[in-house]
Amino acid sequence: MTKIIVANWKMNPKSLKEARVIFKETYTLARGIKNAKIVVCPPFPYLFLSGNFKSKNVFLGAQNVAKDGEGSYTGEVSSNMLKNMSVNYVIVGHSERRFLGENDNIINKKIFNLLKNKITPILCVGENKRDHDGFYLSFVKEQLKNCLNEIPKAQIKNIIIAYEPVWAIGKGAVREATKEEFLEMKIFIKKVISDIYDANTAHSVSILYGGSVNPLNAESFVKGGEADGLLVGRDSLNSKKFGDILNVATQ
């Protein structure tokens, strides 16, 4: 099965020169990968750099998009603009965006606009903490129901879902998530989608893992956790580490 590996550069690197180098190294790495789609999501100012490189299995993504299609919204970037920049994928609902005030209703509008422009949304969901009573399951269920509200069944197959347990991410991480915890969530997410739509629709959706992915844990989530791919953060900026992730995730 073709894996989907998403490189989220976040607000990096600092210079255009560095961005050009990372693009070049990523495209070079991709040449040896046959069974994966690699999605590179740089900050907006670096999107144009992708035009300097060509590869059948590397696609351009963005880290954000406006909830509105057009209008007087200073500082916003529309899905139509991204389409004209040859962007194929956009990350929506990332926990770092949610911390800045985005809610499920805003994310839902972004998804509608992206689908309208035939861009694939990568919808991030995930709980802030795990509890012994299972309330984290209802939290993720609510995120899914709200973010997918009134999205037509025929469009669900065009959405990728990335599970990112917030408690396992970054400097404030409580601990790393396990492959068993991801597999539980993958099954649960499929169940929620099945309840909203049907089993065939749920089966068509790719579920990625994204939570401090690194060369040491990537294989466990793809193999043991049966992830359809990975959402990689800081290690996607390091060609050695990202190359190792690609290799272990696609073997």
Active site residues: 94, 164
Of the candidates 117, 63, 112, 119, the one whose C-alpha atom is nearest the C-alpha of residue 87 is 119
On whether the CB atoms of residues 88 and 39 are closer than 8 A, the answer is yes
Instruction: Give the strand pairing for 3-8 and 36-41.
Output: parallel
How many C-alpha atoms does 198 have within 13 Å on its Cβ side? 5
Strand segments, DSSP code E, in the chain are 3-8, 36-41, 58-62, 89-92, 120-125, 160-163, 207-209, 229-232
On whether the CB atoms of residues 152 and 82 are closer than 8 A, the answer is no
